[in-house]
Every structure is written in C-alpha cells, then in structure tokens.
Structure 1
Amino acid sequence: MLAKSSRVIELPFFPFSFELLTLVSTPKGYKIFTLCTKFSSNQAFVYDSVVHSWTEHDGYQPLLFENFHQEGAFYDGSLCFTTPEPFSVVCFDLGTGKWGNLNVEMPRELTFVRLVSGVSDRKKLYMLGGIGRNGISRSMRLWELKEGKKWEEIERLPELMCRKFVSVCYHNYEHVYCFWHRGMICVCCHTWPEILYYKVERRSWHWLPKCPWLPDKWSCGFRWFSFVPQLHALA
C-alpha cells in the first residue's frame, strides 16, 4: 500500500476452497501457502511472487487443524502446524514442498496448542498451550523450542488473566489463534474484542482493551493481524 504497488493473484482454478492461508516474506518477495479442501487428500498450493505462479504439492492426512483462524508458523525454512490430539507438530518445507515431523516430545496434559514464530528472521518458534484435563484448561503456558530438540517452558499466564481468557472463549479453543507483532506474542479469540499479548523482552502479560468505537453488542467475529509497513516492498 505504501509502495503503491499491487497485484491481482489468480487462483489455481475455480471454485477454490482453501484453509490455513499463510503469507511468508522472503528476501526476494513472498510466498503464499494454502490447503485446498476440494480434494479428499487436501492438496497444498504455494504461490511464489518471483515467478508469479502456483505449484501443487501433496497434502497432509489427517486434517491438520480444527482451527481455521490460525496460520502456519514459519521456522527454519518450513511452515509448522499442529495436529489435533494426540498433539504433534508437522512441517511443510517451502523449498522442497515436502512434509515432515518435528520429532520433539510435547508437554503433558495439553488441552490446546498454538504455534507462533518470533523475531524478524523467524529463527525462534514458540508454542502457547492450555494445561488441564477433559478439555478444560486450568492454566496457560508458553514454551520456546530450544535447538530444535525440546520445548522449554518460559512463562505462565497469571491465574486471573487465565480465568478471564478461558471464560471469554468458553473453553472453545477452536476460536483461539496467535500471531507475532514487533516483539509481542498476541493471543486472540475470534469471539472477543480484546487481545491478550505477551512482551517477550519484558516477560510480561497485558490486555489490549476493546476499541472504543465498537458497539457494546457485536455479533460479528474479530480477526486481528500484524501490519508492519515496508516502504520498498513490491507486490
């Protein structure tokens, strides 16, 4: 927008039903990843802005995610996703188009998990998750992947803030999604107008209050995203 550059990207075919749409910046442009739900095998498609074309790749079975608000987390050249229970992490290599597993032991008693990649070079991978039983989260914790070998717990959400968050999403974690924005891990609920965020350097949790221009009663969902302008970026 600031560079006054735009492009209309044609879809591979019509109709094109897609999920897990993720945009990744690259040194020479960007790539767009998505899974097409038209096929039973969930074919993966990647758009490369350098060659202005789509490539088709094998999908992943079973279904990756029950949460369609969450994007993939870019880490070490791959997009990382979590599977439904039993929770695990799978990776799609944007260079080769191949799927693989992140062979790291997951924490116990997880009720939900979300991934988010940190810092501008995407060399850190964080995981936010609920801890509890029978689908009820008693606490929320944040882990960082250390050397690609283990999840190390780095922070816990204070009890009062945890109670508020799980109450506003009614323990329906399909509505929960995360993203990175300028040193902060933002945790959102599709049905709630506030954002819970964690400042990584200060190691502190905060609430971003509701926009004052929103009406008290709002029946639509909320979709938040990070916008960091790049003055010289081209479409």
Structure 2
Amino acid sequence: MWSNLPSDLLSNIFSYLPPHSVPRAMAACRHWRDSARSATRRHHHRRRHPPWFVALPTRKNDSYFIHNPIENTWHSLDLEHVPSLIKPVSTIGGHGLILFKTTGGVAIRLSVCNPFTGQVGQLPPLQKPRRNPAVGVIEVSNCPGQFNVYVAGGMSEAGSGGAASYEPTLEMFDSGSKKWTIVGSMPVEFAVRLTVWTPNESVYSNGILYWMTSARAYSIMGFEIGTNRWMEFSVPMGYMLEFAAIVPRNGQLAVVGGVDGGDVVVWEMGEGGEWNVIERMPVELRRRFVGGSIKCVGIEGGVCLYRDMVSGMVTWRRGRNCEDRWEWNWIEGCNWVSGRELENYSIKGLFLHPNIASCPFI
C-alpha cells in the first residue's frame, strides 16, 4: 500500500516525522526519497518539533556536537566543510543554517553552512568594509527559504589619514537578490556601542530588530525596519544581573537574566516597553545549575542556559502536547560520544531546526 500512495500524500505524512527520521525514510526507495525531499522543502520550518542544540567549540576543533531533544542523545559532526579562521555568529534557525563570520581583525565576510548536508555558501562583500559590526538575522516568513542579514556599526577601513573610525551605517543582505544594500544611517553613539559592547545574537519582533549590549548596565538597541528608526530600551534590573540575554518567545521579545543570589528570571516586553515577569527557573534546577559563567541562547520554541561541554544544561521549551505551556528540563552534558570520552571545554551554543533540503541561496 505504501509504495502506491501519491507523492503529495506521502510528502504530507513525512512532514510530521522528527528530523532524524527523515533520512531513514529517504533510504527506503526512490519514491520515498523524492517525497521526503519535497516534504523538507515545503515544511522547512518544522515548528512542531523542538529545536536542536548545537555546541561549537570556542577554540579550534575538528568536530562539533548536537543534541537531539526527541531521543535525548548527543551526536558529533565534523567541521571539515567549514572554512578555517571563521567563528559562529548565530543560526538562521528555521532554515537549519549556521551563520559564520571571519576572524583575525580583517573586514567582515559572512558565510552560511548547513551542518547536516555540508553545504557552504559565502555572502558577497559588504558595500562598506568594516570590522566587528553587530550582525542580525531576519527570516522572511512569506518567502520560504529566504532570509535577510543586517550589519550595523563596526570599524571602517583606515582612510588616507591612517585612522579608522566607527561606521554609522546599516547594510542589509537579501538572500533572494544575493545583494547588499545600505538601508540607512545610525547615530554615531549607537555605532560605537554596537561595535564595542554588542554580541551577535539578535531578536526580530513586531517589525523591530533588537541587540543587547554586553556590559553592565545592560541595555537593548532596536532598529525599526519600516521607519529606519533607532531606539534604546532599558533592561529590567540591568545593574543587578549577573548575566542576561534577549530571546524570542511567541513572537515577543523576552529577556532571560540571572539575579545576584542565584535566581533566574524571564521577563517579556509588553506595550510601551514595560517589562513583565513571566517565569522563574525552578529552585531544584537553579541549585543544580547556577554558578560559574552562564550563557544563554534562544529561538522560537526554546531557550537553553549552559556553561560548557560537560556540565549539563537547562532548557525551557514549548511543551510537545500543549504549545501554550512551556516546560523546564535538565539535559546531561556531553561526556561521551560514539564510545569515546570527551574533554571539557568552552562552547558557543546555538539552536536550530534541522533541515536536509537544499538551501536556495547556497
């Protein structure tokens, strides 16, 4: 019976499979392979499945590690297809892509990689070469497979006088046209703070692209896409937080922060920029986890707090059976993979939804 089902019906069935089961279905026969590929192209966001956590070493390493939340297992993948002298910036999570940038004090170049297929593609050079700008990503919801990358601030190339300066412009890359466009200017003080104090994680919500400064007191910089207007927002308890990160949640902007004394709190931005406490990490997880240098990463559908490779992680995810309910869970660290013991080291954590469909941009 299965061999005689129409391709469109098979494709719809395969779209409900968890990501790690799709390759197994594709290996059955040519008919299933073609139908599964169609499913990954048509349902590339796969929002019904929880995002996967990717652990990339902050120092040179030949492999990275990924956690399958459905089977609660760790797996290793090699980095041979990723060029050297680059480091991860963020993910284009719904497309299953990791965004990388060049290192070494040179003008920034960006590239994307699908860790499951090995596809790598480099973005063209920016119109204005710059070093260490803030980078933000927006996934184009009404154009499947397309995304925009924003680059703000950064140090410009040294001019004839020999001195570099801060670049007070913002550029946007459109994966559809594969071109960079200068979309507007920005206050110089914003360019300075985005260059010096802003990590590359960004959140897009309700027409505004947000970045958070990394120095106390924490603050949030926002760029309204439709009006080219820059804004600044306060962070709740900005002076008291031991760590803080912005994350998306149900289409809104949220802040996850650790308060002096061990409490971990989640705030959500309401109307008028007001912050409301919506969640706290359970006491039993807080006692088990809090302490040391804590990092946080988020994507629609999940937030993860982590320290390093083996210490374990705490996740706060949308429930599998009830999307309106979010659940806290503990995940053991990655100590063993494929029968070998791993050493502990610092990592950069990212979230993505695995996708084995070919990326139109690449």
Size of the aligned set, in residue pairs, is 219
Query: Is residue 18–residue 34 contact of structure 1 (8 Å, CA) maintained in 2?
Result: no
C-alpha deviation, 1:36, in angstroms: 5.4
Q: Secondary structure at the match of 2:286?
A: helix
**Match 1:151 to one of 249, 264, 275:** 275
> Which of 97, 106, 119 is the aligned partner of 2:236?
106
**Contact preservation (8 Å) 1:179, 1:186:** yes
Note closer, same or farther for the CA distance 1:94–1:231 as it changes in structure 2 (3 Å cut). farther
By how many angstroms is 1:16 displaced?
Answer: 5.2
> Are 2:176 and 1:54 aligned?
no
Instruction: In structure 1, give the amino acid aligned to 2:306.
Output: C
Change (3 A) 1:55 1:215: farther
Q: Give the secondary structure class of the aligned counterpart of 2:349.
A: coil
Cα contact 1:125–1:145 (8 A) shared by 2: yes
CA shift in 2, pair 1:55/1:13, >3 Å? closer
**Structure 2: distance between partners of 1:165 and 1:63:** 31
Equivalent of residue 126 in structure 2, options 12, 34, 51: 12
Deviation digits for residues 59-97 of structure 1, max 9, x if unmatched? 6244247463x5111111121122332222220223444
Instruction: For residue 226 of structure 1, report the CA deviation from its aligned partner.
Output: 1.3
Question: Residues 147-180 of structure 1, C-alpha deviation per residue, up to 9 Å, x if partnerless?
Answer: 343211111112342244332xx2x35xx13111
Partner of 2:325: 202
CA distance 1:127–1:195, change in 2 (3 Å): same
- Cα 1:138–1:79, aligned 2, differ >3 Å: closer, same or farther? same
Q: Which of the pair has the greater relative contact order for Cα pairs under 8 Å at 6+ separation?
A: 2
RMSD: 3.4
TM-score, structure 2 normalization: 0.51
Structure 1 pair 165–22 and aligned structure 2 pair: CA distance change class (3 A): farther
> More helix per residue: 1 or 2?
2
Q: Cα gap change, 1:131/1:219 in structure 2, threshold over 3 Å: closer, same or farther?
A: closer
Shift of 1:6: 7.4
Matching residue's letter, 1:80: Y
Matches within 5 A, 1:8-157: 8-12=122-126, 17-26=131-140, 27-28=142-143, 29-35=146-152, 37-39=154-156, 40-43=165-168, 44-56=170-182, 57-58=185-186, 60-64=190-194, 66=197, 68=199, 70-83=200-213, 84-102=215-233, 106-107=236-237, 109-119=240-250, 123-132=251-260, 137-157=261-281
Amino acid at match of 1:9: L
Name the larger-Rg structure: 2
* Matched AA of 2:271: E
Structure 2, unmatched stretches of 5+, are: 1-36, 42-116, 157-164, 319-323
List alignment gaps of at least 5 residues for structure 1.
none
1:147-226 → structure 2 map (5 Å cutoff): 147-167=271-291, 170=292, 172-173=293-294, 176-181=295-300, 183-189=301-307, 191-193=308-310, 194-200=312-318, 201-211=324-334, 212-213=336-337, 215-219=341-345, 221-226=347-352
**Which amino acid counterpart does residue 193 of structure 2 have in structure 1?**
L
Sequence identity of aligned pairs in percent?
A: 19
Instruction: Quote how far apart the aligned CAs of 1:230 are.
Output: 8.6
How many angstroms apart in 2 are the aligned matches of 1:228 and 1:94? 28
3-state SS in 2 of match to 1:224? strand
Matched residue SS, 1:217: coil
Decide whether aligned partners of structure 1 residues 218 and 16 sit closer, same or farther in structure 2, where only a CA change above 3 A counts: farther
| Normalised TM-score (structure 1) | 0.74
Give the Cα–Cα distance (whole angstroms) in 2 for the partners of residues 19 and 207 of structure 1. 34
CA contact (8 A) 2:296 2:303 kept: no
Contact between 1:188 and 1:224, CA under 8 Å: does it hold in 2? no
Q: Does the aligned pair in 2 maintain the 1:35–1:45 contact within 8 Å?
A: yes
Shift of 1:232: 8.7
Deviations 1:38-75 (CA, angstroms, capped at 9, x unpaired): 3342553321223322133436244247463x511111
